[in-house]
Structure formats: structure tokens, C-alpha cells
Amino acid sequence: MKPILAALLLTASLLPAATYEIRRAEGPVRVDGVLDEPVWDTAMRIDRFYEISPGDNTEPPAATTAWFAYDDRHLYAAFRCNDPEPSAIRARYADRDSAFPDDSIGFQLDPFRDQRNGVEFFVNPLGAQMDLAVAADGREDETWDAIWDAAGRITPQGYEIEVAIPFKSLRFPKEEVQAWNFIVIRIHPRNFRRLYTSAPLSRDLSCGLCQLDTMEGLRGIRPGRNIELVPALTALRTEAREAPGAPMGSDGTDTEAGLTGLWGVTPNLTLSAALNPDFSQVEADTRQIDVNTRYALFYNEKRPFFLEGRNYFSTPMNLVHTRTIADPDWGLKFTGKEGADGFGLLLAEDEQANFLIPSGSGSSLFTWDEPVSAGAFRYRRDLGRDSTVGVLYTDRRGDGYSSRLYGADGRLRLSDTDFLTLQAVGSRTEYPDLPDVAPAFDGSIHDGAAYSANYTHDSRRWYWEVGYQDKDPDFRADLGFIPRVDTRYGFGFLAYTFRSETSPWWSRLRPQAWFDATEDHAGTLTDWSGGAELYMQLARQTDGTVTWGRVMELFNATEYHKNRFEFQFNSRFNRIMTAFIRFETGDKVDYANDRLGDETALHLQYDIRLWRRLFVWFEGSLEHLTIPEGTVYDARVYYVKALYHFSNALFLRGIVQIYDIHRDPALYRDPVMEYERSLGTQLLLTYKINPFTLAYLGYSDFGLEDDTIDRTTLNRTLFVKVSYAFRP
């Protein structure tokens, strides 16, 4: 869940929902952050707000006023946010969806009033935009993007915001007179991160969209033709060495044109397609330490085409993870919801495919340079107030290869505070007979199944959860991310929450405990863990956990019993700096040498915002494993990102990433490199009018050195990309 509503525990209203009458705008609205138009004198006005965190529907310490109006083409909103300490306002120029730590205000809409799916629009005091999709359980998805306009300014009393949202950017019923559910939300981050809403919220009923107020009186509005065409042109020149020590070579400049299109078939059904698209990422993944690991590491999807509408493919298990689609020639998606029925269809033709081969003891990743076709279909039906059932089918196939998965799932509300989530899936995978490509490509056929069940209780004070998962040894989810199979896993989790609305030092304390155990399908206990944890929300916007656990891990027929200690804290202790630290220590298995060692792991994140325009982010990870004879390995990752914003739309970004590992070969059973080091850099100039009309100019390079290679730049790339959104 993203930061805007994560603290709300969104629930049903204590009081009956209010109804407001929205009026047509009497004159034009200039979106400049100056509330001087006559429209706001007669617009729908809201000036009653409630502090719902850390307070429990108490009087906010800062006054807020909101206005709403509309015309044939736009929904308008204006906000005046007074502040008892205007000099403490937190705001910076920022790219879309990146100003969550700042002061901000916005609103949530549920035009269909089905309490299942909504959208949110937020703006910081300098006009930086954030838009999200929100589900019934409060989960937010910042990858949803719309084209809209906003402006803000800081005043001697606080700040003011104006917003204009084209109706063609929204989905709503085709009715002559409409009523939409809505709520206004203000984020006021100071000593604590305070949240104010225009409707009171209760903590005694777990529900995402059932507490909104209503605005009535929207007449004669239309969603438009809902057609969007985004042509793009990409030019790329790469120089690379065929081998270390060889000269740099290039095949020249590669220029490609692509087209992405979107059609709103109905107000809530969307067809999108991409022909010859540039599916590359404009920001590299943050490197993770991958030494001494058993299972594949997870990397988030960042490509916009696959991010849009991904919530339609979400199920309790991660069975659709589009990073498995490596380099598609084209893609097509059809997503939407009509009444109680929602569905998603995804098709792609891939020039190569990413493979994750799971087992009970480890997993591996590799890329197959052969074309494959991939597809996923998801259907979900709403039941009652807040329950759903659904089915999923995925298919991927190539020359001599096929993988199919099919299953059903459900989320059932049993009471105001209790949910039951179930899923059952089966799979059939046939690998090609190509052992030279990968050991798993041995011509074998794998038929398997997986099951999961979770029971969750979430109330004002108590939270508990119990669950069970079973994954057959031959279960495969080649279009998803399932790094481990051959498991029967059960767990229990219990937590109790203490809250304070008046303490200057803390707002929430939550002691919690857990236990879990895993066995394979032969009945062998392979893992168990148990422990206790204290979660804290403290002053200076600080939250953290302190954890102690006891763990058993079976590896190569040996049981390893481990003690683990961890603490982590995140603090936005003033308006220009944020810091995060996670420290772990305890026993860890040295998988390369079948023994138990002592691990120290440290992860630091630190960012600083200067002059409202400069943003610098540092991230560093250290992992250190020792045995009595010495240090087995020392691994480090450093990541530095700096952005300078000329405006919200125009910014320059630079990234430097270093990966460094040192080993003691004398402490290894098999030969290993003594040291490996890589260095990657990237410089990117971005001009982004909206999520689809933009221009990139960038440079990146990558270098390596180790026992056998002197420090060498292996490749460098210069690229240009431009795209433009046409909305007839």
C-alpha cells in the first residue's frame, strides 16, 4: 500500500455519509494555483475535516477548505490549506508520483459507486502530481496514470491548489444525471504524519471504499471517445567490446518507430496495444547483493505498458510477473470492469524469454534467445458487499516448449473484520530437449498443482493471520514469480496495537509474534522460524521495528539452527532529509561450503532535498560473512542518484552504481574469484509534459574488473526517445 492511505485502515463511517450538490462552473477556470476566479464563490464547498491519524476523528490542528465545480469537459477542484507554521511546509519540485513525503492534498473518486475500484489525485504545494488507482481493500497502485492539470503555490498562510481533470481521463457511467462517491484527503507531515479527511472514518470495520461521501448533480457530462495514440521514436547507439581487451565496436545507430494505442471501448473497458514498442527501462534496477543466495531475487516491473492495469492480473500467488516477458515485438491488453464482472487479457510476442527454474532447495534464472508467445487471462466477479471469486489462465510457448497454468481463487468477507482468501492452481510445462542451453531443458514434462488459504482478522486493536500453502514439486508458473516449490508451508501471526493521540513521543506501538514451518512432499521438515517483534510509530515521522527470531534451515541434509536479530528505522526527521537503516546480525548458512557462519548485514538509505530543486539519494548495502578462520566474503553495493528539477516537467538525473565483492579463496571448497567489481553510470535529461508526452536524452555505460580483467568499460550507450499523446 502506498503512503497516502497506508495509515488510514480505511473503514466504514462512524456517521452517515454526507451528500453534497456540485454546481456548474459560472465562468472559466485558469489552473494557476491562485483562487481568484468567481467560480469558487459559488462552488460546492467543504470545510469540515477530521484528523484520522494519529487522531481518531479529532479536530485537525490546521484548517482546510475544498471547492468542487464542473463544466462540459472538466471536473475542477480547489483547496486552501492553512498552516500554523507555513515555514515548515514540506514541498519540492518533483516528477510524477514521487512527492509522497511532502505536504499534499487531493481526493478519491468512485464514479461507479460500487465500492470496488477508485482513483486518487494528489498535488503537493508546488504542483507536483500524484495519481493512483485504489482497490476495495485500500491497496494503492501508483502505476495508474491519467492526463490532467494542476498548479500550486505557497502563501503566507499555507498553500493553495487548483486542479482540472478532463472527463476523458476518467471512466464513469453513461447517465444523464450522475452521483459519484468521493472523499478529500490532506497529508500534513510534521512531528507526526497527520492525515485529515472530509468524512469521519472508523477503525472497527476493515473496508476500502465504503466510507465515502457523495457528490450529486453532475449533468450532461460524457467521457469522450477515449481514444489515445502515442507514437514514439527511439534512436540508440551502443558501443561494446566483444571480449575484455578488444576494441570498442558499434553496429551504428539503431532507429525505431513504435506506436502505443488505447481505446476506451466502454466507459470502463480499455483496449491497449503496442507495435514495435520500446519496452526498455529508463532507470536501471538497483543492484542487489546476490552472493550466497539459494533462491532467485525479485525485481519490480518498471515498463509503463505492463504496469498499466496490472491490478487486473493480481491473485494471492504471484502468477503473472511480466518481467518474464523480456523483449516483445508487440503487446496487447484488454482490461476493465462492467458491473460485477472484471477481467484482464494480456498477449505478447517475445523475441526471447526469461526463465525461472524452481525447486525445493534453490532456483535459477536464465534467458532463452528464442521467440515465444505469452498470454494471460483473468476473470473476477464481485459477490455481495466485499467478496470476489476469480479464475486465471496463462500460456507461454515456443519451439518445443509450452507452459500452461489454470486456477481459481476467492476473497470472502466473513464479518466486518474477517477475510478468507483461497486459491488453487494447476500447471503443465514441457521443456525442450536442449541441455546445452540449460540443464532444465531436458525434454521433461512437469504436471503440478499449488494451493493457498489465508484467514485474516483486522480490527482496531487486534490483527491476526493464519495461512497454508502447498506447492507440488512439479508445479511451474513460467509467466509468474514462484522461486520455490516442493513445499508445504503453514504460518501464524498475531499483533496487538496501542495508540496515543496526545503523546509528543509516539503514536502507535504494536507488539507482534509469528511462527511458520515448511516441509517437503516427502514429509521432511525443511524450515521453521519463530520470533517476536515490536513495531513503533514515533515522533519526527519515525517508524521502526526490532525483531528477534529463532530459525531452523535444512540444507544438504544438515539442520542449521540460527539466531537472528534485526532492527530497522525510517525517519523523515526534518523537511529536507530522510534516513533509513536496517541492521541484521546472527547465524547464516554458507551455502558454497556447507557450514554455519556469522553474518552482519547493513542497509542504509539517505536522501536530502535542497532549495526545493535538488534531490540526492544514497543507498548502500553491506553483507559480511565470517567463520573462526576469517572472512569468507565481504559484499557491498553503492547507489547514488541525483536529480535537479528546473520545473516539475524538466529535470536532469545522474546515477552511479558500484558493486564490489571480496572473497578469501582459501576459505572456499571450490575455486572462486578473489574480487569482482562493476561500475555503471547513467545521465538522463527528461522533459515530461504528461505521462505519455515526453522526451529523453540519455547516456549510460558499464565497466567491470576482477581477478582476470583489468578495469574495463564493456559498453556505452547514447539514446534519444520522444513520444506524444494524441487524444482526438
Per-residue model confidence as pLDDT tens digits over 368-377: 989 999 999 9
State the average pLDDT for the chain: 89
Per-residue pLDDT band at 688 (split at 50, 70, 90): very high
Question: Which domains are assigned to the chain?
Answer: 3-219 (2.60.40.1190), 309-363+372-447 (no CATH)
Confidence tier at 14 by pLDDT (50, 70, 90): very low
Q: What pLDDT score does 163 carry? A: 97
Q: For 387-408, how does the pLDDT look when each residue is reduced to its tens digit (9 = 90+)? A: 899 999 999 999 999 999 999 9
Asked if 12 and 57 touch (Cβ cutoff 8 Å), the reply is no
Based on the number of CB atoms within 10 Å of its own CB, is 387 exposed (0-12), middle (13-18) or buried (19 or more)?
A: middle
pLDDT value at 7 more than 60: no
Q: Is the pTM of this model over 0.85?
A: no
Q: What is the pLDDT, as a whole number, of residue 15?
A: 52
Q: What is the pLDDT of residues 645-676, one digit of tens each?
A: 999 999 999 999 999 999 999 999 999 999 99
User: Radius of gyration (Cα) for the chain, nearest Å?
Assistant: 27
- Segment 506-528 shows an average pLDDT of 96
pLDDT tens per residue, range 616-649: 999 999 999 999 999 999 999 999 999 999 999 9
For residue 307, the model assigns a pLDDT of 72
Say if CB 699 and CB 215 are below 8 A apart: no
What DSSP string runs through 448-497?
EEEEEEEEEEE-SSEEEEEEEEEE-TT---TTS---B-SEEEEEEEEEE-
Angle at 37 between CA 31 and CA 42, to 5 degrees: 120
Of 203-217, 340-354, 500-514, 556-570, minimum mean pLDDT range: 203-217
Q: What angle do CA 260, 261, 267 make, to 5 degrees?
A: 145
- Percent of the chain at pLDDT > 90 equals 65
| Whether the Cβ atoms of residue 132 and residue 2 lie closer than 8 Å to each other | yes
What sign has the CA pseudo-torsion 344, 355, 358, 582?
negative
* Residue 665: DSSP 8-state: G
For residue 294, what pLDDT is reported? 83
- Predicted pLDDT at 295: 77
pLDDT score at 5: 43
pLDDT digits (tens, 9 = 90+) for 44-85: 999 999 999 999 899 999 999 999 999 999 999 999 999 999
- pLDDT value of position 608: 92
543 or 691, greater pLDDT: 543
Contacts of 594 (CB under 8 A, 6+ apart): 555, 556, 558, 669
Among residues 136, 124, 50, 506, the alpha carbon closest in space to that of 311 is found at 136
Which residue from 102, 248, 202 is spatially nearest to 161, judged by alpha carbons? 102
Is the predicted pLDDT of residue 3 greater than 70, yes or no? Answer: no
Q: Counting Cβ atoms within 10 Å, is residue 261 exposed (0-12), middle (13-18) or buried (19+)?
A: middle
Burial 273-282 (b: 16+ CB within 10 A, else e): bbeebbbeeb
Parallel, antiparallel, or unpaired: how do β-strands 675-688 and 193-197 relate? unpaired
pLDDT for res 13: 37
The 10s digit of each residue's pLDDT in 231-288 is 989 898 999 988 887 888 888 888 888 888 888 777 677 888 888 766 555 655 566 6
Which among 112, 132, 113, 114 has a CA at the least distance from the CA of 122?
Answer: 132
| CA–centroid distance for 357 within its chain | 24
- Residues 175-179 have a mean pLDDT of 90
223 pLDDT above the threshold of 80: no
* DSSP structural state of residue 667: G
By three-state DSSP, how is residue 168 classified? helix
Asked if 457 contacts 465 with a C-beta cutoff of 8 angstroms, the reply is yes
Q: Which pLDDT band, with edges at 50, 70 and 90, does 386 fall under?
A: confident
The pLDDT score that the predictor gives to residue 276 is: 76
